[in-house]
Structure 1
Amino acid sequence: MQILSLGSRTLRFMSLRKVAMGFSTLLILASFASVFVKGLNFGLDFTGGTAVEVGFSQPADLKKVRAALADNGFADASVQLFGSSQEILVRLAPRGSDVKAEVIGNQVIDALKKADDSVVMRRIEFVGPSVGEDLKEQGGLAMLTALICILIYVAFRFEWRFAVGAVGALLHDVIITVGLFSILGLEFDLTILAAILAVIGYSLNDTIVVSDRIRENFRKVRIDDTVEIIDISLTQTLNRTLVTSITTILVLIALFAWGGQTIHGFATALLFGVFIGTYSSIYVASSVAIAMGVSKEDLIPEVIEKEGADLDAMP
């Protein structure tokens, strides 16, 4: 039997919900395994250390730069292009509380000038280890607080089963996005944390739109099958979801390709987050709500009889 919605064929999204949940479970397990085994490549924002930005008169040769630093006692330095081929960023782990950032910066410049006299220092930044630990803790608390507030809002606005589904979808997106950075060994800093919080907001917006349409159809569609109503709702919101996602992805691709090294990680997290967030708003949130037994009766408002209504109805 085909289900029809507003004169068009309804797609049976929920017929694949078991496959989708199995796929999501594998991704989550792989993410946890990578985080526990490999860990995250925390940036200086979390670990502390020194960042030295230097400029060259010609495109920099990263291999020569790394070799020059290794020959002068900086074998653990992280070297990458920063904005252009003539700008590089050197990141160094903490060297002790008594070593000042300016001293380390001068040592880095001296080491690089032995290989190229055109080297010019742009800036030096230092983050203490204790500050990095505080940032890591506060960032985790910010994410946890956001999820709790979302749970309360959706439970109040819709129904508690949808709230659990929405938060489950958001946790799904966060865990898999963090897992991607762990698997690929990409640097995880405050910029990436901000991107993950943005992914939470994007995914939540999509989930709220879908939940609102499900609630509306529960009340007006004369079908008792919860799965069919959810399929109808997802089909009705599919155009909106695709237009929003594709528009966002086009912007993020431009940022990823031409935005420079400064926002490369931010664009990577958001680009992946939009894909996984769109997927979770269709499959994860609704599948969790179905698994928890949401039904039409849960979203139909109760009719409250006024006192004396029976007396008024009497002739």
Structure 2
Amino acid sequence: MEFFKYTKTFNFMGKSKLAMILSVVLVLASYALLATKGLNYGVDFAGGTIVQVKYDTTAPIDAMREKLKGNELFNNASITEFGAVDEVVIRMKSTTGDVTVDVGDVTREALKGTGNYEIRRVDIVGPTVGAELKEKGIMSLLLAMIGILIYVAFRFEWRFAVASIVALIHDISIALGAITLVGLDVNLDVLAALLTILGYSLNDTIIVFDRIREGVTSSKNTDLTEIINESITRTLARTTLTSLTTFFVVFTLFMFGGEIIHAFAFTLLVGVVVGTYSSIFVASPILLWFGFDVKGYHVKLAAKSQREAEKQRMRDQYESGIM
């Protein structure tokens, strides 16, 4: 079903240089933020302790700070609101080495006299475990990209594979820059969002590449620019509907999902927008810059068809007893 029908081919590649300039600026700005400000690793990767406390009225943050000063476990602890004025999280970079000590009980005892409250969550991650999680998280991103490179190279051609990887690096870089800019904690949920962005962006890119390959294979036109413009135009309705529906769902999670899913939803919001953009204005122009030869591709297809026909002829002769 087509909700949008286009009677003309849009000149996307005519805007590719301007789009690439914008992409380079955004990627370089992201790297600058990562180099100067750096990622704010959360408890999952940096190690530490998180205690979530909910009051029946507005949380007395100042009184809580005063109460916690008397306990060494809470040295340099930060207390911030967690989605509402009556709920806070206490973040500590340290962990207790005594397994017999219940951090929840210690917090409950330390906060006596600050009002009616309940300890809703206690998360403890040791520094060794945090470092291991961070290492495995980075490795998962790298392995995902290597797998994508092999898959696309096998399914299409090496130029398509390189274009896909460049687009994915572009998307992840800008997403990390946005996370750094707003100061989100990088935890396992953000890593999950980054891996989701890889899958979403790749799927969008593969749809466009399938159309381009179809155009290259079936069209008598040998102008790659025109083929790409026509292919993107033909997939524009699908891209628009997919991106908008995904965006609205993720935006709903971002607005109403609560603080605990805030970082995940924000990262996905950035990824949906940037991934849709990169499929059109990053991955496709790279095919042009790498000098993809339509005529040469036709020659390869003809040679491949000839080899397959020859194999089939020899197979038929063998089965008929001629050979």
Letter in 2 for 1:40: L
* 2:38 alignment partner in structure 1: 39
* 1:220 alignment partner in structure 2: 218
Matches within 5 A, 1:136-285: 136-285=134-283
Moved more, 46-55 or 238-247: 46-55
Distance 1:184 1:71, change over 3 A: farther
Distance 1:63 1:277, change over 3 A: farther
Helix, strand or coil at the partner of 1:304: helix
Shift of 1:83: 5.9
Letter in 2 for 1:59: T
Matches within 5 A, 1:48-63: 48-62=47-61
Q: Does 1:86 align with 2:86?
A: yes
Equivalents in 2 of 1:22, 1:268: separation in Å? 25
* 1:10 alignment partner in structure 2: 9
Matches within 5 A, 1:113-132: 113-116=112-115, 118-132=116-130
With the length of structure 1 as denominator, give the TM-score of the two structures. 0.88
Number of aligned positions between the proteins: 302
Equivalents in 2 of 1:166, 1:298: separation in Å? 21
Distance 1:106 1:307, change over 3 A: closer
Unaligned runs of 5+ residues in structure 2 are 314-323
Distance 1:298 1:130, change over 3 A: farther
Equivalents in 1 of 2:198, 2:310: separation in Å? 45
Contact 2:60 2:114 in 1 (8 A): no
* 1:77 alignment partner in structure 2: 77
Moved more, 58-67 or 205-214: 58-67
Helix, strand or coil at the partner of 1:51: strand
Unaligned runs of 5+ residues in structure 1 are 1-5, 310-315
Shift of 1:40: 0.6
Contact 1:50 1:101 in 2 (8 A): no
Shift of 1:105: 3.7
Equivalents in 2 of 1:80, 1:101: separation in Å? 27
Shift of 1:290: 1.2
Letter in 2 for 1:284: V
With the length of structure 2 as denominator, give the TM-score of the two structures. 0.86
Helix, strand or coil at the partner of 1:125: strand
Shift of 1:121: 1.9
Equivalents in 2 of 1:244, 1:38: separation in Å? 34
Equivalents in 2 of 1:108, 1:87: separation in Å? 15
Distance 1:63 1:178, change over 3 A: farther
**1:72-127 C-alpha deviation (Å, 9 max, x unpaired):** 664632334446553322211115x63559454444333332322x1222232210
**1:282-305 C-alpha deviation (Å, 9 max, x unpaired):** 111011121111121354312316
Equivalents in 1 of 2:147, 2:100: separation in Å? 40
Shift of 1:193: 0.4
Equivalents in 2 of 1:131, 1:238: separation in Å? 45
Shift of 1:208: 0.2
Identity of aligned residues (%): 44
Equivalents in 1 of 2:100, 2:86: separation in Å? 23
Contact 2:204 2:279 in 1 (8 A): yes
Equivalents in 2 of 1:71, 1:298: separation in Å? 76
Helix, strand or coil at the partner of 1:271: helix
Shift of 1:68: 4.7
Equivalents in 1 of 2:13, 2:282: separation in Å? 10
Letter in 1 for 2:107: V
Letter in 2 for 1:304: Q
**1:120-162 C-alpha deviation (Å, 9 max, x unpaired):** 2223221000000000000000000000000000011011101
Equivalents in 2 of 1:195, 1:43: separation in Å? 15
Contact 1:215 1:299 in 2 (8 A): no
Contact 1:101 1:125 in 2 (8 A): no
Equivalents in 2 of 1:254, 1:307: separation in Å? 57
Contact 2:40 2:180 in 1 (8 A): yes
* 1:25 alignment partner in structure 2: 24
Moved more, 179-188 or 80-89: 80-89
* 1:304 alignment partner in structure 2: 306
